[in-house]
């Protein structure tokens, strides 16, 4: 294994069948060994290695599954990249090689590092690696686990989330948007809440930073007041510059209208909440909670 020095904020380490990108400060002295050889570097991304050491603390299921690794003084979250949709039946975790700069784990590692420099509430990247096999590759990412935080979906399953937390969720999404951050899969599983109500955002696979550009001053309009009892909301629709006053079931805010990609993020989050609402008690999510989230979002965009 050879070290290639700095690589856009991380240290690139060549391995036998690919490469690893790491933050030496976050990586620390792994397993008490000062020098990472190829075998140990590969072991960092192997859940079995950590299980054998008694340091595999938890695991989440699904396409975005992660293993949690207990390493003093912090925990790590290890995620193996997997495909979704119909193509997953053919190639569950392999991607077409298009050059190292486009390796999904490396792209996400660099994006997280950039967002951390902007002081946005995202996890600290620790290490990423890919293993290439001809025209295909597999990849993995390790980040610091955000202590004491749980997905919004989990919180909603346990108890009602207070209005202040819904406001904070909206403000956090607005902070990302104000910085031009386009989250490709913003949903109730990728927004985390801790006990103090602080919000973090995870899983930036396929995310990117866009130019924010100019915005219309017509405001954001949504059908929050026209939902059914279970909060079957529709995606927010921007009001036109000549639109009449909203009907009784509509509301218009003085916030600046989001760009199209921002509206897509919000619509994706809304669909996610609507989906999980079907399995929740009626007081957990509905029109009122969505309005609270939008209040926070719009208030932050006014700043």
Under DSSP, the state recorded for 292 is H
Contact predicate 81/131, CB 8 Å? no
Distance separating alpha carbons of residues 191 and 172, to the nearest angstrom: 9
- Residue of 152, 209, 144 whose CA lies nearest to 176: 209
Selected catalytic residue, list 185, 203, 283, 295: 185
Query: 278 to each of 225, 281, 283, 292, how far by Cα in Å?
Result: 18, 8, 12, 19
Q: Is 185 assigned a catalytic role?
A: yes
Angle at the Cα of 249 (from 247 to 251), degrees rounded to 5?
75
Torsion-angle region of 32 (φ positive above 0: left; ψ -120 to 50: alpha; else: beta): left
Could you tell me whether strands 66-71 and 56-59 are parallel, antiparallel, or unpaired per DSSP bridges? antiparallel
Q: What is the DSSP string of 154-216?
A: HHHHHSPPPHHHHHHHHHHHHHHHHTTEE-TT--TTTEEE-TT--EEE---TT-EE-------
* Helix-, strand-, coil-residue percentages of the chain, each rounded to 5: 35, 25, 45
Strand partners, 139: 130
Please list the active-site residues: 185
């Amino acid at each position: 294994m050879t070290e290639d020095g700095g690589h856009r904020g991380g240290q690139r380490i060549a391995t036998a069948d690919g490469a690893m990108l790491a933050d030496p400060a976050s990586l620390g002295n792994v397993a008490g060994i000062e020098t990472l050889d190829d075998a140990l570097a590969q072991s960092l991304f192997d859940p079995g290695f950590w299980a054998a050491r008694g340091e595999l603390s938890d695991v989440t299921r699904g396409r975005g599954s992660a293993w949690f690794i207990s390493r003093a003084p912090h925990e790590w979250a290890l995620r193996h990249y997997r495909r979704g949709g119909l193509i997953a039946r053919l190639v569950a975790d392999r991607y077409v090689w298009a050059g190292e700069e486009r390796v999904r784990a490396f792209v996400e590692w660099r994006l997280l590092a950039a967002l951390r420099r902007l002081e946005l509430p995202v996890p600290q990247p620790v290490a990423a690696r890919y293993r290439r096999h001809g025209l295909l590759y597999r990849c993995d990412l390790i980040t610091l686990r955000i202590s004491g935080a749980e997905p919004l979906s989990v919180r909603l399953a346990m108890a009602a989330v207070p209005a202040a937390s819904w406001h904070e969720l909206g403000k956090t999404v607005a902070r990302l948007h104000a910085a031009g951050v386009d989250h490709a899969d913003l949903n109730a599983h990728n927004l985390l809440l801790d006990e103090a109500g602080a919000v973090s955002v995870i899983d930036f696979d396929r995310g990117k930073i866009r130019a924010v550009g100019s915005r219309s001053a017509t405001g954001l309009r949504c059908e929050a007041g026209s939902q059914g009892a279970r909060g079957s909301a529709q995606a927010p629709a921007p009001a036109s510059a000549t639109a009449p006053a909203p009907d009784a079931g509509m509301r218009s805010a003085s916030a600046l209208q989001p760009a199209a990609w921002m509206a897509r993020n919000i619509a994706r989050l809304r669909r996610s909440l609507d989906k999980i609402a079907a399995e929740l008690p009626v007081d957990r999510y509905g029109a009122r909670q969505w309005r609270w989230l939008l209040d926070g979002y719009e208030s932050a965009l006014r700043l």
